[in-house]
Structure 1
Amino acid sequence: MSKLFLLVFIALSQRVQSFGIGSTLYCYQCVSTQPGCSPFNWFWHWSQACPEDGDTCVKVIERKGASEVVTRDCLSALKGVRTDIPADHYEGCKPAAVDVKLGNYVFSSIKELDVKKDYYDETTFCFCSFDNRCNGSSSLKVNKSVMFSLTALFMVIHFLILR
């Protein structure tokens, strides 16, 4: 009975730590205009598997005055749409890249098209690729020290008390 209990505990603790299967990275995909995306609520949004190997989760924060638009997605999904992605995709937040040649010969009278990508005052890209679902809320991450201490406590109880 105790061996079965041990196996179930190890399986559950590994599931809580990994939150994923294989080498696929899972990211949240939503825009803050959707309910539950900003502020983020993981009950509303399921994560999606990123299509490319070595992909990165991205959280794009665009601010103009008091308004803020947050976009969460895989980097491979944003590459074809965004021209202001920073060259450094390593963990952390970075300001958007500036393309001085963007829209030089375009004279659009429709300001909503935002051809020159200068509508927002501040655009920040936050990258993460080491944890599944890392572009969500930071309070949802599993603390590794808590998992280690719970495992150690279980081992002490199992080997000292139950034997």
Structure 2
Amino acid sequence: SAEYDMWYCSAYVSSIAYQIEENYAGVAAKAMMQVSDAESNIVKKIQSLMGIVSVIALAVSSIGITSLMTSEIYRRKKEIGLLKAIGASNFEIYALFASESLVVAFFAGILGAFLGYALSYAIAYSIFGYGIGIAWIVLPLSIAFALLISIAGSLVPMRSVVKLLPAEVLYDRK
């Protein structure tokens, strides 16, 4: 009885065909498995493609953060030299730049999540004629990925902070 209820009340193609035959006299319903299998394969390929695009986007974002952080360190090298001259450790300088990067990433993650939702809503409305609901799990995920990309993109440029010598930087010898 429990198995019958599970099968009968589910959206399996064969159970739907059975219910059609049951409700309409003289009708023979046949499940077209080729269509649903082809649909399933297309959906799987689209999901794989979206996964690949997401990984590439994360890598490109990390490279962009690396470039921005490198230029920021170069632009502020006198400030870094002054901090070192008055006794700041490399860790404290790392913490300063990392905290600035994380604050920006936090707000960028929030903004990105809401802009992404607005764009997907507009696309869904233009294609299907109605909007989509918001999935609130996207907000913490967007923030988490923004913070992760920020940290990953900041690691390589931060190593150049150690090499800066206060005297050379402050007197423009480098």
Range into which the TM-score falls when normalised by the shorter chain? under 0.3
Structure of higher RCO (CA pairs closer than 8 Å, 6+ residues apart): 2
Which structure has the bigger radius of gyration?
2
As a proportion of its length, which structure holds more helix? Answer: 2
TM-score by length of 2: 0.25
As a proportion of its length, which structure holds more strand? Answer: 1
TM-score by length of 1: 0.26
